[in-house]
């Protein structure tokens, strides 16, 4: 199948008007200008870009990964795929050990089948003071036996673990997580700058939703935010949904650390793509009003209702400078950097890579989505 479009973004460069050739679920050619043979699909003024990769998502379409059923996984995947996400990691919230073991074991099969990139344990080893929308009674310090049990239950599917590095045993847990081939992330933490530095030196390479649910920056107490930003080994997650962060912060962070060290994530929960109402995030009741999810009866944000196409639009809208450069940066942060942060191949649209792509209108609305060479939905 040979596609042409008014603009082709590979994830690392802009080719202008160009083409993408697909065969057996893989990209076999990509280039600018007019292809050597007639195209099969002329997408006219559309933009072709790599499919989005969400490394931190709890659910969507009225379902959540913590339910750990085939139907819940299918509903979450379907909702986010319609919005351009062709690969994602299933994030779980803090829970008690037996529940987490069951959830991880059930989701591992969906990783082995290729539906999911992996499993993200966001907790239970988090700081009570920065727990956000995590059940406080489920929080605890990492126990070596429990760390081993959860990694074993995943059969290699646990791709990332977020923990608070100041907890007793956390540094040892980071070393074990990294040794098992997973990514250790700093998050939901009240760590000092020095404690965060120790975690990074032990192998932590991601900061989970930077700024949110962590000790804030103070001029005499820089905390984990500054520790993560100043270390080139760390990729920082940002939720650019217009709720979690003021638009100035993503601009500042990208200008400070460069486009390659930022991964945009939704942190979406079951209400993504759904109407306002009552939902759950793990054992906690969540109320969604005006598209903003909060723990019931509180002002605490409980994940988001965003999809990756929303993050793209807002990232470009709120960027400073040239729009084309802002779009290329946002695509890199949505498609390339999450895979790199997860230690996975990040080819973008290049020969030999998967035919995972999105077709966007000039206004950046989703027109169609392709995953592994097949259209997820009918092309508009």
Q: What is the mean pLDDT of residues 13-38?
A: 96
Report whether 319 contacts 329 (CB < 8 A): yes
Report whether 375 contacts 86 (CB < 8 A): no
How does pLDDT run across 339-357, given as a tens digit for each residue? 999 999 999 999 999 999 9
- For residue 145 the two structure tokens come to 């036996």
Domains and CATH numbers, the chain: 2-48+349-375 (2.30.40.10), 52-341 (3.20.20.140)
What distance in Å separates the CA atoms of residue 59 and residue 54, rounded to the nearest whole number?
A: 11
Instruction: Confirm whether 70 is a catalytic residue.
Output: no
Distances (CA, A) of 289 to 269, 273, 275, 292, 303: 14, 13, 9, 5, 13
R_g (Cα) of the chain, nearest Å: 20
Measured at the CA of 253, the angle between CA 289 and CA 310, to 5 degrees, comes to 35
Model confidence at 378, pLDDT cuts 50, 70, 90, reads: low
Query: Dihedral, CA atoms, 242, 249, 341, 312, nearest 10 degrees?
Result: 40
Residue entry with tokens 């076999």: 28
- For residue 281 the two structure tokens come to 């995030």
* In the chain, alpha helices (H): 70-82, 97-112, 144-153, 170-179, 193-202, 223-230, 248-257, 308-318, 323-331, 337-341
pLDDT at 206 > cutoff 60 = yes
pLDDT at 274 > cutoff 70 = yes
Select which of 231, 267, 309, 356 is catalytic: 267
Model confidence at 380, pLDDT cuts 50, 70, 90, reads: very low
Model confidence at 320, pLDDT cuts 50, 70, 90, reads: confident
* Parallel, antiparallel or unpaired: strands 284-289 and 292-295: antiparallel
pLDDT at 213 > cutoff 70 = yes
Q: What is the mean pLDDT of residues 312-318?
A: 96
How does pLDDT run across 147-186, given as a tens digit for each residue? 999 999 999 999 999 999 999 999 999 999 999 999 999 9
High-pLDDT (> 70) share of the chain, %: 99
What distance in Å separates the CA atoms of residue 351 and residue 105, rounded to the nearest whole number?
A: 35
- Kindly write down the DSSP assignment for every residue of 131-197, as one continuous string: -SSS-GGG-----HHHHHHHHHHTTT-EEEEEE-TTSTTHHHHHHHHHHTTPEEEE-SB---HHHHH
Q: What pLDDT is recorded for position 177?
A: 98
Element (H, E) at 233: none
Residue closest to 332 by CA, chosen among 313, 317, 312, 352 = 312
How does pLDDT run across 100-154, given as a tens digit for each residue? 999 999 999 999 999 999 999 999 999 999 999 999 999 999 999 999 999 999 9
- For residue 144 the two structure tokens come to 């070596």
């Amino acid at each position: 199948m040979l596609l042409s479009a008014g603009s082709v973004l590979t994830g690392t460069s802009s080719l202008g008007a160009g083409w993408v050739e697909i065969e057996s679920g893989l990209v076999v050619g990509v280039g600018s200008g007019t292809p050597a043979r007639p195209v099969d699909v002329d997408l006219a003024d559309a933009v072709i870009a790599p499919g989005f990769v969400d490394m931190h998502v709890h659910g969507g379409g009225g379902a959540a990964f913590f339910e750990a059923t085939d139907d819940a996984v299918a509903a979450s995947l379907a909702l986010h795929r319609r919005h351009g996400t062709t690969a994602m990691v299933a994030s779980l919230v803090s829970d008690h050990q037996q529940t987490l073991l069951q959830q991880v074991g059930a989701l591992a099969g969906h990783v082995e089948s290729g539906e999911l990139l992996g499993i993200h344990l966001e907790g239970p080893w988090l700081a009570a003071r920065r727990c956000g929308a995590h059940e406080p009674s489920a929080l605890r310090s990492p126990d070596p036996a429990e760390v081993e049990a959860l990694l074993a239950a995943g059969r290699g599917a646990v791709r990332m673990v977020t923990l608070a590095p100041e907890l007793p045993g956390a540094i040892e847990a980071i070393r074990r997580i990294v040794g098992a081939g997973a990514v250790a992330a700093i998050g939901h933490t009240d760590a000092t700058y020095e404690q965060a530095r120790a975690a990074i030196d032990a192998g932590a390479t991601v900061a989970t939703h930077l700024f949110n649910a962590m000790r804030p920056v103070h001029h005499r107490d820089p905390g984990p935010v500054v520790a993560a930003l100043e270390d080139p080994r760390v990729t920082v997650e940002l939720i650019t949904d217009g709720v979690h962060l003021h638009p100035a912060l993503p601009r500042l962070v990208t200008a400070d650390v460069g486009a390659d060290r930022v991964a945009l994530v939704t942190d979406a929960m079951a209400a993504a793509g759904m109407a306002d109402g009552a939902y759950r995030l793990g054992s906690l009741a969540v109320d969604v009003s005006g598209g903003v999810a909060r723990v019931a009866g509180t002002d605490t944000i409980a994940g988001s209702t965003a999809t990756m196409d929303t993050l793209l639009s807002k990232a470009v809208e709120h960027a400073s400078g040239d729009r084309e450069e802002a779009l290329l940066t946002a695509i890199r942060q949505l498609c390339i950097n999450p895979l790199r942060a997860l230690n996975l191949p990040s080819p973008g649209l290049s020969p030999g890579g998967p035919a995972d792509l999105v077709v966007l209108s000039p206004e950046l609305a989703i027109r169609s989505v392709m995953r592994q060479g097949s259209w997820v939905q009918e092309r508009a």
